[in-house]
Structure formats: C-alpha cells, structure tokens
Chains A and B, each alone.
Chain A
C-alpha cells in the first residue's frame, strides 16, 4: 500500500472549491462547481487543515495527536482521502 504523496507535500483546495459551515443545516459543506458535498466528521478535520500552509506530515501529526490514533493509520487515511479529492480536481498538492 504505497503512499500517493510525499509527506512534505502541501495540499490546498483548488480554486473554485470552498469549505464552509452551513448554519442553516448545522453541518460542514464542501462547495465545488455544481456540487455540494457533505464531508463526514473525519473528512472535516482533515479539510480544515488543508490550507496551503500545512504539509501532509504536519496535518497527520496534528490529527494523530488530537485524536490519539496511531500515526500510521492517520497517514494512510489522509493520503487516501487526498488522492480521492485530487482525482476529482478539488485539491492540489504542491512540493
């Protein structure tokens, strides 16, 4: 199970993709061209850290610490999750 991205890579939401809290429905939404996605709580925790500043390793560290989960598991989950969004053109990873 290889990683798709280097831990030093920095992910950011693509232009035209926005994460925001939807007050009317009390949930987080990811907005993209003609799409409204409802990320689950884990996805929201990742997405809130996808800011073009934090590296993948940084995000993994934070999540592992915040939720006291094994770092390796978090690493694999984050990598998978980002791959899915990169394939959809919703996230770009640089570096």
Chain B
C-alpha cells in the first residue's frame, strides 16, 4: 500500500499558505459578459480562443457573482466584453448591481446600440459609459475596426449618452496607424462632451501580439505621443481628465501591471473563469477557478492562480532586491511570459532585465517592418450553436 507522506517541500508550502496574510479586498471587477462583438479590432484584449455564446454564464449566475463581488468588497463593476450590449439581460444585471451597491461602468463599442437601448440602460441605473473609438475619423475607425460605418454610429451613441446626462469617457487604443491622431482624439472627446479620455497604447498579448508587426509604433512616434499628452494634461486641466496606459516597450521601467497581481481587481470571463488580469490565460499551467464551482471570495482568497504572483515572494532576486518592487510589482507577468518564456521573470520592459535589449530590438524591428495587414479578431472556428 502506498501511504502518502508529505514531502518537506509540501509541508513548507502548507506552512507558508497558513501564514500567508489575507489579501486586501478587491476594488474593481471586470465582467466580460460575452465575447461576441460586431467589431474586429486587431489588438482586442479578448483571448485568441474566444468563448462562444453557448458557454456564456446565464443571468442568474451573473447576478450571484455581482452579489458576491459586493460582499467581497468590490466597489466598481466594469461591464465589458466583447460587446456587453449583445447581452439582452444587461439591464437586469445593472439593476442588480445598483441594488447591491455596485457602481456600474458600461464599456461599449457603441455600434448596434440604439437610442431606446441607451434609455433603458440609463433607466436601469448605469453610472458611467465608456465608449471606444478606433480612430478619430470615419476612415481610420473603419480601417481598424473592420466595419465601414462604425464611426457615425459611435458619434450617435456619444450624443445620446450625453443627452441622457450620463458621464462619458472616450477610450482610444493607439498604435502605429493612429497614434498621430492623439490631438484629434482629444478634440473629439471634448466635442462629444466627455469629461475623461483614456489614451491606451496597445498592450501586446493575445490578438495584439499576433498583430504586433502591424501595430508597433516607432520610438519617435511614442515619444511624440507622450509629449502631446503631457502638454494636453496641463492645457485641459479641469476640462478633460486624461488617463494614459503607457507604452512600455520603449520605457525604462515596466508598468505596475494591475497594480499588483491579485491586489485590487479581478476579471470574470464569459464562461465564468476568474482571472487576475484579462490576459492571464496566456500563462500556461495556472489553475483558474470558475464561479460555477467556487464563490468569488474563495477564488480571490484561495485559488492557485491568484496566489501564484501575489505580493513579492515569487519575485526573482533582481526584483526582490530592488527598491521599486512594491511600486511596479515586477511589471507584467503576461509580458514576462510572452518575451522571457517565464511568467516569474522580471518584466523585460524593465531596463534591468537581461532581456530588455532583446525586447527593444523586437519593438524596433516590428516598427520598421512596414506590415499593414491586420489579422482581425474573429472566432477561429465557425459558429455552430448560435
């Protein structure tokens, strides 16, 4: 008979788990309600393997998840996708969020959303609308989103959102083709009555990684963009809040990805998997728990994926001994995976990483490659069950 005797390493692991300090409660939850979306942005943050409609969580499960989120300490819920308005039960979800005290932020691409639908979302109690723009004009929007009249539709949605008195954020993902439009995006946001704009440099995981050669801006473009944003921040102070997601390939330090793994937020996929960040599934071997089997609080506190890179214990010596370790949390785990092939390596975006030069070379090569064909986001296998 084989009696399992725990090895010393097991015991040490268990002891560590016992003394692990309880992580603070998360502030935000990204609820990816569906992966369905009428647009095909080549940098889409959804995974390359998209969840199909038939595996999407049902209404009752989402309502339970929102309730558990509120109990856990989540304050703001980001209703996202894909295109969240593809879910006909979105109003029911919003009403429930309001009931349990959650602040709701609707993240939409704004195509196929009628004025009546917006009215009903507003009536349900949505707090804030974030609308994505793939370009600052019709041609660029069509080129990037792969839909001809997307821009006009977005403008109509923006007007309606403001007419309803809802606060509006414009979200613009920038990359080589549209990075020169940052001043136009800023103008557009003001013209539409937005109080806030997100200028997000494409982050290279999943679809964007596939399309990196067509998306990567040059170093000159990036530095020009940073200058423009800095200047605009001063000029538009009190008029338009500018939040920027920095382009880290050309940076000295990595971004404090998610403000630390499993520290402030969680992400629920359409099929109910709970991830520390939307790209976490690009890391092989992580054990993600599903809301169908576990409560959100169990997942937050105990799931192996959330504890894998929590705090600073997992860090390599380079980060352990660095004074910035609780500032940037060693950077992004998914980028370490993508570039170093090791999710627990120092993010190669950090200038101290031995792979930093390699990362720079990749970026410069891609930026100069001159590729302008996108591999547009799509369901990889033909739809069967819709």
Contacts and interface: CB of A to CB of B under 8 A. Distances in A.
B71 to A, nearest CB: 8
Chain A interface size band reads 10 to 19
Given A16-B167, A23-B73, A34-B243, 18 more contacts: A15-B166, A15-B167, A18-B103, A20-B101, A24-B72, A25-B25, A29-B75, A31-B75, A32-B128, A33-B127, A33-B128, A33-B130, A34-B105, A36-B27, A36-B75, A36-B76, A87-B238, A88-B238
Interface residues of B, number: 22
A24 B73 contact: yes
B178 interface: no
A31 to B, nearest CB: 4
A71 to B, nearest CB: 29
A29 B23 CA distance: 20
Interface in A19-52: 20, 22-25, 29, 31-34, 36
A34 B166 CA distance: 14
A16 B127 contact: yes
B75 A16 contact: no
Contacts of B25: 24-25
A25 B27 CA distance: 10
B169 interface: yes
B195 interface: yes
A31 B78 CA distance: 13
A33 B238 contact: no
Contacts of A89: 167, 195
B278 interface: no
A93 to B, nearest CB: 15
Given A18-B127, A24-B25, A33 B196 contact: yes
18 contacts: A15-B165, A15-B166, A16-B127, A18-B103, A18-B127, A24-B71, A25-B73, A29-B75, A31-B76, A31-B103, A32-B167, A33-B167, A34-B76, A34-B196, A36-B27, A36-B76, A87-B238, A89-B167
